[in-house]
Structure 1
Amino acid sequence: MAAKDQRNQDESMKRKRIAGTQREGEKRTSKKPKSVQSKPAAPPNKGLKKPFKSSKQQAVKTQPEKRQFAVEKKVPKSKRERRLHAKELTEARKKRRKRHYTLEQELASLWEKMRRHNIAKEERSKLVSEALQKMKGKIPEVAGSHVSSRVLQTCVKHCSQDERDAVFEELRPQLLTLACNTYAVHLVKKMLDNASKKQLEGFISSLHGHVASLLRHMVGSVVIEHAYQLGNASQKQALLLELYSAELQLFKDLVSMKESRLVDLISKLDLQKTSVVRHMASVIQPILEKGIVDHSIIHSALIEYFSIADKSSVTDVIQQLSGPLLVRMIHTRDGSKIGILCVKHGSAKERKKIIKGMKGHIGKIAHDQCGTMVLAFILSTVDDTKLLTKIVIRELQATLKELVFDKNGRRPLLQLLHPYCTRYFNPDDLASLNLFVSSLCTKDEGSDVNLNLEQTDCSEVCEFQDSGAVASLETTVGGNNSSISTNKNLQIVDGGKKDSSLRRRELLVDSGLAESLINTCIESVGELLRSNFGKEVIYEVATGGAGGILWPTLTDKLGALHEAVASLAALPKTEESEEEHILENFHSSRTIRKLVLNCPSFASTLWKIALEGKCEVWAHGHSCKVISAFLESSNLKTRDLAKLELQALIDGGILKVPESKLGHNL
């Protein structure tokens, strides 16, 4: 019985355990997963916040979108389709980025038509008017565009005056801003070129207070220089005054046109010289550091700065300019003066930098009207003849045939052949070659002889050929283009420490330049004699240079040149020839006459080869001046050559020579 009760109890316990297990299983199966459990509703203030999404949900949701985008995006198959598709995408980007892109496209199509050369004037006017009408009210906005600025330039060039005035009025408030734009600056320059006097005056007045800041800008400085070149004397002075001092910048009506030099302004207005120097240094230094030295307004300001600055300030500027920077300045008159001053007052190291900076540009400098003066001064001053031969002389030899025919290019050659000759250098040129900065040297430095004259004229410059020293006028820096003050002292000035005659010989003869020059004269003898500028070169070469510097070494070469001229003169006189005979040509006849008067060896060669027994043929016209020169010569041997034959022509009335020009022993 006890065993049966125990068995029933065990079975009931077993059933309870099974039932409990089943209930727990039902609970587990009925429990929802966390990922699909319902969440309480979000409060109203959190409705804008995005619900959290797992990476799996995002992947599941974005995958269909990618497939849909891949279906919509049709990949072009051919090269042409890919190119057109890329073009469409580029156009879409430009439309989103540029506000007036569609307008620019329309203007470009009009511009292609209006800028053609074979278009009728009436049709072009219609196209210009149509383009201006499309841009009306939006001109300042489109002026800075690469395309629209070009269209505007063409429109301004070909439009009527009323249309041009309308464009100027619309641009006027934004001209200073456009002046600093890389593309719009060309439009601003075009507007100034076509502006009336009133419009130009208004623009220059609007620059008041902005000149110094614009000169420090690479693009804006171009507009200032353009306005400076277009302005009259008073407008140029108004632009320059802002660079001198803060007082003149604030009160522009303080100065009248009578005071053109800075030194006079300081004394009249009682300005503090140190304050002016400090202000000008603050304006000039950033300009030099940026290398904006191409403009003439900066050159004029530097000349004025040299006239008042102390020794250390001027020396610092000379050191900054010594090198390739100076090459970009010497194309103007004031820039040429600055170049001469840098060479004169610079040390040997600085002179070397200047000459090396000119390497590769010697030919261009020699052809420039102002740059050739710097080159002539360097050849007369620098003692390092080896460096000059290596850089300057070699580049001159490379273009020698072009230089001898050029008005400016021949000057460095003539300076070596005949230094400081008044026939080739006018008084202003000679004065600029003798410039100096008063703060860097004493009054009598570099002079051996001082002659006190009551009245000194630049045309009275004397020449000392035998000693190599040259007399010129002592001048000081301090003014604009015509503001050189001349002292009443005539001084013999020597260039460097080396003897001037020795320097000339090393550069002209020892370097081989003279031999190349003689060969060039022989090759082009007829052209040089008939040339207005080349005749002076061949005359100096044929006479052997000042002081006869070529004769001892190149006697045979000079004899060959004399024979070349005489052989050309010996050609028969024919009417069928296209060129005039050299004895009848205006330039060549006078050059040969001077050679007969001043070079006895040439006179002898010419007489023996070309004129002996033929004087009666050449006794009329321009050629009679050559014949008469034999009787006018001061050399006895020259007169004796032609005495018998020419006297018979004079007695027969064929040749007429004034008695005042006849030699004493005829």
Structure 2
Amino acid sequence: MAGGGSDLQSPKKRKREQAEGKTKAKPRTQVKGGVDGAKRKKHTGAGGYAAHGGAVEAAAKKRPATPREQRLAAKEMSEARKMKRKRHYSLEKELAKLWEKMRCHDVSKEERSKVVSEAIRKMDGKYLDIAGSHVTARVLQTCVKWCSQSERDAIFDELQPHLLTLSRKKYAVFLVKKLIELATKKQFGSFISSLHGHVAKLLPHTIGAAVVDYAFQRATQPQKRQLLLELYSTELQLFKDLTVQSSFSLLETISKLGLQKSSVLQYMTIVIQKILEKGTVEYSIVHTAILEYFTIADKASASDVIRQLIPLLTQGASIIDGDEPSVSPELPKKTKAKKKRSSEPLIVRIMQKREGLKLGISCLKHGSAKDRKKIIKSLKGHIMKLALNDFGCLFLISIISIVDDTKLVSKIVIQELAKHLKELIFDKNGRRPLLQLLHPLCSRYLSPTDLACLSYNVPSLSSREASESTTEVMSENKVDAVTDKDPNGLEGTQNVSESKKDPSQRRHELLIKSELAEALVQSCIENVGELLRSNFGKELLYEVAVGGKDNVLDGVTDRIHMLHDAIASDAAQPKTEDIEHAFENFFSSRVIRRMIIDCPAFAITLWRKALQGKYKLWAEGHSSKVVAAFMESPNSEVRDLAKPKLQPLIDSGILKVPDHKDVEK
């Protein structure tokens, strides 16, 4: 063993020693079972070497030399592999070419109909395989859009047993949505029936939840209840007959069917927790289910849901990339389904429905100070989108009415509103946050349903002090009753929320300290003519001109007097054919009349600038209401100023002043 150890050397050491001449070449050893080199002769013969060399030369000739030949060879190899891997690869290529023709905007209806019919004929019997392919799914979707009703019915009938499976697939989901959109009443009803027992399973699914919500939005009220009831109890999920009922709330369902509230709460907690863990909280059906859950949840359960909701709502919404196929369908890119996160927070996206608004308000009201700060910071850069939205503007109203951190609100909300004042003051929704600061919760600018949303509270999380105070969760019937008692719609009697800071102090800090009031008055001065004659702008002009409720604009009185002068100067202009005069325009005449009655300083300025010596000209016709307003003013100084001039016109019957009872009506 010792002697043989010298032969066991590493290859590197052997090569190094041979290079230095220290070792001798080893003698050839005899091959076992034959003469030395017998086996090697088979490979080293002349014929063997010639054959091997010929194969190498042939391979060298076939090997692509130029880059173009290399690309063509790679393409051929890719095509061959796809032919083996995909069953309908040749069909996919044909359908891709037809799709390029049918989706063009400039193609005629007749030509598109022919192409669509040809594509459907080629796909007949293979719809399920076609729907699952990321290349051809859009082809079938386009065919469903443009085909005849009979062809669409045939596609729907073949795919109906597989719609739930397709609803979970990334690319097929868009085909399912198109089928739901164009389905007949009977087909849509059958799809709703097929969802029975699967709603709770699909909602935590990232892709399947979108299909359920799409069907929920298109469903009738009984069908919506049918989908929601499955989320309440196991019995309702198992027995379909129990879901066909006319009740429209969870409490009514529990009472009518005799369900145990504790078991319903336990089951809904499990369902909602799965949804929150997956983060699929952007859908309307989920918002409705959570709001129903709040009606029976205890304080700990409701707090836990809100605590989990706030991080999800302040993040970007998770969306699946795959809405559009690749540019070249015949050469699809091998890319995996990637999740993109949009920069827009989810709390902005859910403001498209009233349920989303209520969910956002509940998070804002019952979240901690840190949660409110997190919500407001997530809205940075999206304030204008909220302000111009039907429900987003109400969410901004909640922010400026609830949050005590006025520095943060001024920095993120007020500053962005101040940059776009001209756009906001003329917009139906954009003016509402500004009007909330000037005149909080005024039923003239907010409907009873809007006031009910702003007063929404989670029952179990409402504090005892809040329940004893004037802040209550008002139903729509109670709001209607308040509106009936206040026919003029001058003021809402509810507060949005109890806060530590005094509401008047908060309004003063948001308006005066942030310099929003000065910018608002200046914008009104620059656009006084348009605001007077605008249906929405006149309300904001009125509130600014009278100084707001409780004289909140007391800090910019000098600027308000300049606004009075600007309005009076516009009214002092002579009649022209280009622009209707302020005293005769439908909107401006009414708002000027209100300002005369409610603001003595404006009434005196208007009389001296626009009506002094011209009152006889405007005492007849539509403008007579403006002149008569001076006699209706509760201010004695205003009446004394106009009475000597107007009393003769009243006595002669030229000017008519309505009775006090008529004015109240």
Q: Same fold (TM over 0.5)?
A: yes
* Residue from 471, 478, 483 that aligns with 2:493: 471
Name the counterpart of 1:321. Answer: 309
Distance 1:584 1:470, change over 3 A: closer
Rounded to whole Å, the distance in 1 between the matches of 2:197 and 2:36 is 76
Which one of the candidate residues 181, 184, 200 is aligned to 2:169? 181
Equivalent residue for 2:530? Answer: 527
Tell whether the 8 Å contact from 2:130 to 2:140 is kept in structure 1 after alignment.
no
The one of 494, 499, 502 equivalent to 2:502 is: 499
For the pair 1:121 / 2:85, whether they are aligned, the reply is no
Instruction: Give the equivalent residue in structure 2 for 1:105.
Output: 93
Residues 583, 626 of structure 1: 8 Å contact kept: yes
The correspondence of residues 14-29 of structure 1 with structure 2, limited to 5 A, is none
After TM superposition, list the pairs within 5 Å mapping 1:42-191 onto structure 2. Answer: 64-76=54-66, 84-191=72-179
Which residue in 2 is equivalent to 1:394? Answer: 415
Structure 2 vs 1, CA of residues 630 and 242 (structure 1 numbering), >3 Å: closer, same or farther? Answer: same
For 1:424 and 1:115, the matched residues in 2 are separated by 46
Partner of 2:341: none
Q: Distance in 2 between matches of 1:417 and 1:59?
A: 100
Distance 2:589 2:269 in 1: 56
Rg larger for: 1
3-state secondary structure, aligned to 1:247: helix
Q: Is the CA contact 1:330–1:338 (under 8 Å) kept in the aligned structure 2?
A: no
Deviation at 1:209, TM superposition (A): 1.6
Instruction: Note if 1:266 corresponds to 2:254.
Output: yes
- TM-score, with structure 1 as normaliser: 0.82
Distance 2:607 2:662 in 1: 18
| Range 641-650 or range 232-241, more displaced | 641-650
| TM superposition shift of 1:419 | 0.7
The CA RMSD over aligned residues, in Å, is 3.1
Q: Distance in 1 between matches of 2:485 and 2:521?
A: 24
Q: Structure 2: state its 5+ residue gaps.
A: 1-29, 315-345
Which residue matches 2:272?
284
Contact 1:597-1:630 within 8 A present in 2 as well: yes
What's 2:448 paired with?
427
Q: For residue 212 of structure 1, what is the amino acid of its counterpart? A: A
Question: Which residue matches 1:357?
Answer: 378
- 1:300 CA displacement: 0.4
| Structure-2-length-normalised TM-score | 0.82
Is the Cα contact below 8 Å between 1:463 and 1:471 reproduced in 2?
no
CA contact (8 A) 1:463 1:470 kept: no
Distance 1:362 1:619 in 2: 46
Residue in structure 2 matched with residue 219 of structure 1 by the alignment: 207
Q: CA–CA distance in 2 between the matches of 1:450 and 1:388?
A: 23
1:594-613 matches, within 5 Å, as 594-613=594-613
Picking from 33, 36, 39, the partner of 2:38 is 36
- In the alignment, the residues of structure 2 paired with residue 58 and residue 609 of structure 1 have an alpha-carbon distance, to the nearest angstrom, of 118
Aligned to 1:636: 636
Identity %: 55
Shift of 1:109: 2.2
Alpha carbons of structure 1 residues 546 and 135: separation in structure 2 relative to 1, 3 Å: same
Kindly tell me: are residues 507 and 72 of structure 1, through their superposed partners in 2, closer, same or farther at Cα, counting changes over 3 Å? same
Task: Report the residue type matching 2:224 in the other structure.
Answer: K
| Corresponding residue number in structure 2 for 1:460 | 482
Q: 1:82-124, CA deviations, whole angstroms, 9 ceiling, x for partnerless residues?
A: 5555544444444344332322222222222222333322222
Distance 1:384 1:230 in 2: 41
Give the corresponding residue for 2:387: 366
- Any idea what SS the aligned residue of 1:329 has? helix
1:413 maps to: 434
- 1:512 aligns to 2:500 (yes or no): no
Unaligned stretches of 5+ in structure 1? 1-27, 39-51, 473-491
Deviation string for 1:43-98 (max 9, x for gaps)?
A: xxxxxxxxx999xx999976643332111223226x6x555555444444443443
Which structure 2 residues correspond to residues 230-245 of structure 1 after superposition, within 5 A? 230-245=218-233
CA distance in 2, matches of 1:390, 1:106: 58
Please report how far the alpha carbon of residue 249 of structure 1 lies from its aligned counterpart in structure 2 after TM superposition. Answer: 0.6
Structure 1 residues 237-286: Cα deviation after superposition (integer angstroms, max 9, x where no partner): 11111111211111121244332211222233332322222221221122
Bigger CA drift: 132-141 or 121-130? Answer: 121-130
Q: Tell me the equivalent position of 1:564.
A: 566
Partner Cα separation in structure 2 for residue 312 and residue 157 of structure 1: 49
Q: Distance in 2 between matches of 1:598 and 1:141?
A: 72
Deviations 1:535-568 (A, max 9, x none): 11111111111011102x1011101111111111
Q: Could you tell me how far 1:207 is from its partner in structure 2?
A: 0.9
Deviating more after overlay: 440-449 vs 289-298: 440-449
Residue 591 of structure 1 pairs with residue 591 of structure 2: yes
| Cα distance in 2 between the residues matched to 1:408 and 1:380 | 17
Contact 1:245 1:280 in 2 (8 A): yes
Deviates more, 1:642-651 or 1:298-307: 642-651
- C-alpha displacement at 1:618, in angstroms? 2.5
In structure 2, distance between residues paired with 1:345 and 1:636: 49
Take 1:389 and 1:545, find their aligned partners in 2: how far apart are those partners? 19
Q: Letter of the 1:609 partner, please give it.
A: K
Residue 144 of structure 1, CA deviation = 2.6
Q: In 1, distance between residues paired with 2:461 and 2:622?
A: 53
Q: Deviations over 1:266-321 (max 9, x none)?
A: 23333232222222122112222222111110000000111111111111111112
How many residues were matched structurally? 591
Change (3 A) 1:554 1:463: farther
Q: Is structure 2 residue 576 aligned with structure 1 residue 574?
A: yes
